[in-house]
Chain A
């Protein structure tokens, strides 16, 4: 059997194990509990580390420590828990350490609700904690894509020595789909972790120090510029997106994750009604796929952004589109998932308004 039927959270956990995760630290929160539960059962079978910590703050600091020691390490949580982890995430980015963080988003702000949301878009794509840093952030739309991206995420984190965020919503965490875990993913060319504080000094190397504190402003400035160069490289060379139906499109939807999935259904319904609608689907939400907007046909006058939040991605779309088109927005919040028919209606209104 090359395919098995998996629940999202479970599939993401197994993908990490397949990618060689050596340690997992987490704290329970709905709707991602099956992920640490799966890890609690299966990490030991692979002779790897699982710790249910006393809090999210503890979990992310354990990630910080394990990453500093050179381990492949991961944590997962959902929106309020990810908010708690922000201090540690900033330290990990500041100390230039690789780690994979999964955020199975739920409604906010505060404790919000437990149903699906994309309400952490701004937090995810702007870094989230203090200081100048970003997370390479991937937003899969299916379980197969989530599995593939998680397998690759550990390589990406190692390559950039920077945390990678996998941003999904409760829908992806909870849904069931067939998945092939042997589906090949790109392998990154990774140098050995000579920077790791792994206690191995038999070769006579200098002490490796893991740190994010630079009291000399001139040194910190150089450090900040070094980090910036990484984020510039991500933006220049590592945008990821899918263009759907674009050549024939008269109007374009921008949507990521499960919302993009629903948009696909909307596009099919629209096609049956004679309306040609394309989709830009950001696969990485940081770096934002600015290049995609240069590939939109010239005659397209309208872009509809669809999200499960109140329009957090709209600014990025405006900047990427450089004021070439009208930007519209449709969103559902509070844990309510938009239906394809609602998106169809929005597109119909926009298209109709042009006539």
Chain B
């Protein structure tokens, strides 16, 4: 993993769950929630979990205002861009608009070679269910974020109804997307309950549902 990983994707693509899993697995320093589009999936329990693990959480809410409906980006969100000793994961809001929030850090991003922007795709989400839609969404995101996408994450799933064939269907389409945009599939996400043997493109993330569980 590079020093900074930014995850983007349509809402419901699984960004937040993947961010949390990656953060815990790689013991990064900062996890930054930049989802100011939908302030719904927040939880005190998640904050406590990160604190326990020594990962600093920068929330998209004013401290102590968990139920606030206001978009909010903490000044702290810039810290990992400036302090180059820190490792961090950024979780963007859904749709291409979610990338716009990154523009404010533009002047502070001086080591682009150490930053990855990954695009998360679930082929079974109607807004990204074919190659053309995915390519259009990636280009729109790059315009909004003013940063190039550097990799793809295949999170194709139908929750408990996921089969290995469904994952491979996503992989086939993402390989085509990758060919056209010259992007690798960096991760394939498999929920821990599924035990698919693989192999899959890129590294495999064995996902546990942490956000959903802590929120519900």
Contacts and interface: CB of A to CB of B under 8 A. Distances in A.
Interface string B125-144: 11001000000000000000
Contact of A115 (B67, B122, B125): B67
Given A4-B129, A178-B159, 19 more contacts: A3-B158, A4-B124, A4-B125, A5-B12, A5-B122, A5-B124, A6-B125, A7-B12, A14-B126, A30-B40, A30-B69, A33-B38, A34-B38, A113-B67, A114-B39, A115-B40, A170-B40, A335-B67, A337-B216
Could you say which interface size class chain A belongs to? Answer: 20 to 34
Q: Say whether chain A's binding surface is mostly helix, strand, loop, or mixed.
A: mixed
Given A30-B39, A174-B41, A178-B161, A6 B12 contact: yes
Interface in A56-100: none
A174 B41 CA distance: 9
Contacts of A174: 38, 40-41
Contacts of A152: none
Interface string A145-181: 0000000000000000000000000110010111000
Interface in B106-155: 122, 124-126, 129
A5 B11 contact: no
Contacts of A4: 124-126, 129
B216 to A, nearest CB: 6
A34 B122 contact: no
Contact of B12 (A3, A33, A176): A176
Interface of A: 1, 3-7, 10, 14, 30-31, 33-34, 113-115, 170-171, 174, 176-178, 335, 337
Contacts of A5: 12, 122, 124-125, 157-159
Contacts of B161: 3, 178
A4 B161 CA distance: 10
Contacts of B38: 33-34, 174
27 contacts: A1-B124, A3-B124, A3-B161, A4-B125, A4-B126, A5-B122, A5-B125, A5-B157, A6-B12, A6-B126, A10-B12, A14-B126, A30-B39, A30-B69, A113-B67, A114-B40, A114-B69, A115-B40, A115-B67, A171-B216, A174-B38, A174-B41, A176-B12, A177-B159, A178-B158, A178-B161, A337-B216
